Amino acid sequence: MNDQFQIRIATRTSQLAIWQSNLVASLLREREPNLQVELVKVVTEGDRKIDTPLSKIGGKSLFIKELEVAMLDGRADIAVHSMKDIPNQLPDQFSIMAILEREDYRDVLLSQEGYNLENLPVGAVVGTSSLRRKSQLLALRPDLLIRDLRGNVPTRIEKQKNGDFNAIVLASAGLRRLGLYDSAAHGLSVGEVMPAVGQGAIGIEALAQDQNLRNIVSSLNNDLSAKEVFAERAFSRYLNGSCQSAIGALAQAQGDNLMLKGIVASPDGRQIIRKNTCGSLRDPEEVGNELGRLMREAGADELLKLS
């Protein structure tokens, strides 16, 4: 950190990213009234290349890399991310110093008519660029036409309203944070579409060696949410998963235990492996690794090769 009383937050320029960074800024100011917090807005490569599927241009790390560069070259002290966008393996010099309390982890089906998966018209065009979502939708409704959809949340909604898609799939958390969740949004159950690893959680990344910064930022950490997300990340990391993989997971604390569910699917949704496990809340990474082992024994590696 460049100054004891100043923290600069590297953030993407999308409406949702700015909202999330402003939330972190306000929480930091509440805890440290004398702290000066400012946003350092960075246009990432992932934001510039909105017409190409992420799986073809390097994945969600394109949203992270330039924020990390801003921290390395001294322009920023921390970066605020959606945890589902952070690669399973960070560069050694970086660390996730806090995870805020998780929002709704579900995906939602959004349409003008308020469709659910059962009453979507046959052959409906559904927008998503997520292979995880695509494979699970096709497993339930192989008649659907899945088309790539990128851009920030308001842009995606506008494309649906303009008639480009019968429905689109978005993360519930983003809609709620922007005040865009309404009666037309149909929440998808975990049994229908398993969420992405870390979905609904906001993470704060910084240079691992900065202990002074860690002391301030770690006060924002929600222990239960962090353990749930770390279990999901360990599961995906065990299988070498990425945004180019049809992998979903959800961990939920139950007393001293941690329940973890996961899926691995083929891109066309014709093959899906579902497994779950339970372990100690004190060791979330081992819970994630155990689910990874169960998935591997069931043939997950072969499905992932199809992605």
Mean pLDDT over residues 278-305, rounded?
97
Give the number of other Cβ atoms within 10 Å of residue 240's Cβ: 13
Mean pLDDT over residues 238-254, rounded?
92
Domains of the chain are: 6-100+201-221 (3.40.190.10), 107-187 (3.40.190.10), 234-304 (3.30.160.40)
Q: Report pTM.
A: 0.92
Q: What is the pLDDT of residues 44-66, one digit of tens each?
A: 765 655 555 555 545 556 779 99
Listed in sequence order, the DSSP H helices in 32-90 are 45-48, 54-57, 65-72
Place of tokens 């052959």: 123
pLDDT of residue 4: 53
pLDDT of residue 242: 80
Mean pLDDT over residues 173-202, rounded?
96
pLDDT of residue 2: 46
Q: What is the pLDDT of residues 128-165, one digit of tens each?
A: 999 999 999 999 999 999 999 989 999 999 999 999 99
The C-alpha atoms of residue 201 and residue 180 are separated, in whole angstroms, by 18
Listed in sequence order, the DSSP H helices in the chain are 15-31, 45-48, 54-57, 65-72, 131-140, 153-161, 172-177, 211-217, 223-238, 284-297, 300-304
| Cα dihedral 13, 249, 187, 150 in deg (nearest 10) | 30
Place of tokens 């929480």: 27
5-14, 58-67, 69-78, 250-259, range with the lowest pLDDT: 58-67
Tell me how far the alpha carbon of residue 189 is from its chain's centroid. 17
Residue pair 10/17 in contact (Cβ under 8 Å)? The answer is no
For residue 16, pLDDT beyond 80: yes
- Residue spans of beta strands (DSSP E) within 77-229: 78-82, 94-99, 107-110, 125-127, 145-147, 167-171, 185-187, 202-207
Residue pair 73/175 in contact (Cβ under 8 Å)? The answer is no
For residue 287, pLDDT beyond 70: yes
Q: What is the average pLDDT score of the chain? A: 93
For residue 1, pLDDT beyond 50: no
Tokens of 166: 């019968």
What DSSP character marks residue 168? E
Q: Would you please indicate which residues are annotated as catalytic (active-site) residues?
A: 85
The C-alpha atoms of residue 79 and residue 39 are separated, in whole angstroms, by 9
Residue pair 247/307 in contact (Cβ under 8 Å)? The answer is no
For residue 222, pLDDT beyond 90: yes
Mean pLDDT over residues 12-22, rounded?
97
Of 205, 214, 212, nearest to 78 (Cα)? 205
The C-alpha atoms of residue 199 and residue 34 are separated, in whole angstroms, by 32
Tokens of 138: 């096709």
47-61, 94-108, 185-199, 240-254, range with the lowest pLDDT: 47-61
Tokens of 275: 């497994």
First to last CA, the chain: 40
